[in-house]
Amino acid sequence: MKLSTSVLLSLLAVSPLAQAMLPIHVKQFRFIKPSSADNDASSNEVFYVKGIDYQPGGSSGYDPDGDSDVLSDAEKCARDAYVFQQLGINTVRIYSLNPDLNHDKCMTILNNAGIYVILDVNSGNYGENLDRSNPWGTYNSQYIGRVFRFIDAFKNYPNVLGFFSGNEVINDQKDYANIDPPYIRAVQRDMKQYIAKHSNRTIPVGYSAANTVDLRLATYRYLQCNSLDGTTTNKALDESRSDFFGLNTYEWCSGTSDWESSGYDVLNSTFSDTVIPLIFSEYGCNKNLPRTFDEVTDGLYPSSGLGNLFSGGLVYEYAEEANNYGLVDMDDSDGSITYKDDFDNFKSAISKLKDSVVYESDLGDSSLYRCNSSAITSAYKDFGVSNFTIPDQPDDIATMIKYGVNGTNVGKILTNYTAPTTFDYTIKDSDNNTVDATITYDSSNLLNALKVSSTSESSATATSSSSSSSSQTSSASSSKSSSKSKGDAAHIAGPFTQSGIFAVLLSVLL
């Protein structure tokens, strides 16, 4: 019996593929990974971030005028993708990238290896971030234009889990907690409007907060709120809120901390009212070395700990720098990698995790959170609530949102590229033995597109032609059509290879 190609693609689309690299979306306080191209809420599962922070060379390794960054060298990306697989992680965070370089090969390697990415849209260089000491002077078209080019460069990769609008911009130095918060919201508003107008899917926009106990609570309450009265959504606040929230926290130190002494019990109570996903955007105290990462098994992930509230986290960091947080040593002279004891211990901790299966349909629908100035200032009295007003959007930024930035570097997953399974770098284990390193690519990782009905395509087209002033409606419409992606004339866009379930279906076809 032979099946038509359309029937074959339909079978692939509805088959539950646990490893398929389909775009992550947000439902209430959870990340959701579609179980198949049908994007059916009854089978879609909550996604837990199990990852590391990844910036080999540190901030000094990024050169905005250079011809490379950490995702521009396919050979190095293949090397590190192998290490990620050995760790058992599913996500990496990257702090600094050049939006004008091509990242297709590296992003394809990571996608095919089963790795999602969370990307900071900023860097530490002048004109590439919001200066916390002068937010009104640096919130301008030069900076936001670069952010938009960054979005263009990465929006088409299905393994982009989300963007960070800022990292520790709001802190307890000087008057920064007072002057910066409204500008973070302005940046998030602009990013979300641009994504709604120029991307074919909604990409979550989040914020990574500083490790200051009182200030992080105030920041969280401020950035997730979207209602002035607690009953109705305010459009301006909803489109400028964070879609997810990251905490940089180093309070649990291996071997000496526990649930109470680490303050995890306080996190569990003070963040219990969240309506957006929470993650640790950095963690891994290095007071006691080697780190044993008992916070992974005893604190962050288990349902008896923060697992019912938080959605995982990212250990700081991949490569060893002067601050002694690395999981691996990287030889700058030859690019070789040697695992540290921290690598073995983190790998062991991750391997012991057993996620509770929670389906998207099990979650509630409410994402309303009241903007309560007294609740925010009671946590940090000098926090700049500013009556929840947000800086006006300059005309030149509104124009860029309406027409785009005409970026010439728009990335995509490569379908005609054979991702490398080996590389010319040596990998050694923590006993200094050379590892026979070969990357494996699960064929289901090549399923990257959700099913789209003709109705939702028409709606999306109509929505994307609207002005930026109606971008919140556009975002809501896009989200709705994504979660109800069934109907006539449905199609699948994406590459397929002949192995596993694909081989079975192809054998029927042939």
> What type of residue sits at position 78?
A
Cα separation, 158 vs 202, whole angstroms = 11
Q: Which residue in this structure is represented by tokens 């979005």? A: 151
CB 273, CB 240: distance < 8 Å: no
The CA-based angle 275-19-336, given to 5 degrees, is 100
Long-range contacts, 330-336 (Cβ 8 Å, 24+): 330/56, 334/425, 334/426, 335/76, 335/79, 335/425, 336/425, 336/426, 336/427, 336/428
Marked catalytic residue, from 128, 168, 295, 360: 168
H/E stretch holding 229 reads none
- Decide if 168 is catalytic: yes
Strand order from edge to edge, sheet including 337-339: 328-330, 337-339, 427-428
Separation CA 205–CA 191 (nearest Å)? 8
Q: Which one of 45, 128, 251, 282 is the catalytic residue?
A: 282
CA gap 53, 39 in Å, rounded: 29
**Residue 295 is among the residues annotated as catalytic for this protein:** no
Q: What angle do CA 226, 207, 196 make, to 5 degrees?
A: 65
Closest CA to 444 of 214, 113, 125, 211: 113
Which of 155, 111, 69 has its CA nearest to residue 409? 155
R_g of the chain computed on alpha carbons: 22
Bridge partners, 91 (sequence order): 51, 116
Q: Which helix (H) or strand (E) holds 166?
A: strand 160-167
Among 103, 119, 118, 130, CA closest to 185: 130
- 3-class state of residue 444 by DSSP: helix
- Enter the tokens of residue 419: 């991702």
Residues labelled as active-site residues? 168, 282
